[in-house]
């Protein structure tokens, strides 16, 4: 009887250890809730007919969050070019090792996703 209790306790301890490992692995791979960038940004406006790149744009603070609304302005001006509702984040590295991101969202009442392309971009959790 004593051997069964010890074996059961060992199995329970191993099970708890495995669950703990799974939770710690999941916590390290959190889905980003936002992004910030230190480099330049450009904006790709996509419609059903065209794709127009607007170079040298800004978003106040160089920081965004999912589901937020942001004004995309022409760099060094107060001219609002687009209003972006952020829906998705895409992070990557260029061949030179520098990070970038595409911040996907809807412009005005469009049903087609456009994106802000930012260089030296990092995830916010």
Q: What is the pLDDT of residue 21?
A: 47
Q: What is the pLDDT of residue 114?
A: 97
pTM of the full structure: 0.75
Task: Return the CA Rg of the chain.
Answer: 22
Q: What is the pLDDT of residue 42?
A: 98
Residue ranges of the chain with per-residue pLDDT less than 50: 16, 20-21, 24-25, 27
Region at 81 (left for phi over 0; alpha for psi -120 to 50; beta for the rest): alpha
How far is Cα of residue 117 from the mean position of the Cα atoms in its chain? 12
User: How many angstroms separate the CA atoms of 10 and 47, rounded?
Assistant: 61
The widest CA-to-CA distance across the chain, in whole angstroms, is 80
Residues recorded for the chain: 125
**Contact (Cβ atoms closer than 8 angstroms) between residue 44 and residue 117:** yes
Q: What is the pLDDT of residue 22?
A: 52
């Amino acid at each position: 009887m004593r051997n069964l209790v010890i074996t059961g306790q060992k199995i329970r301890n191993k099970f708890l250890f495995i669950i703990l490992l799974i939770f710690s692995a999941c916590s390290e791979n959190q889905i980003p809730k936002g992004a910030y960038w230190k480099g330049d940004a450009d904006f790709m406006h996509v419609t059903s007919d065209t794709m127009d790149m607007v170079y040298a744009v800004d978003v106040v603070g160089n920081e965004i969050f999912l589901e937020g609304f942001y004004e995309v302005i022409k760099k060094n001006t107060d001219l609002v070019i687009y209003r972006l509702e952020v829906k998705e984040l895409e992070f990557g590295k260029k061949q030179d090792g520098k990070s970038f991101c595409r911040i996907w969202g809807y412009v005005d009442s469009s049903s087609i996703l456009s994106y802000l392309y930012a260089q030296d971009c990092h995830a916010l959790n």
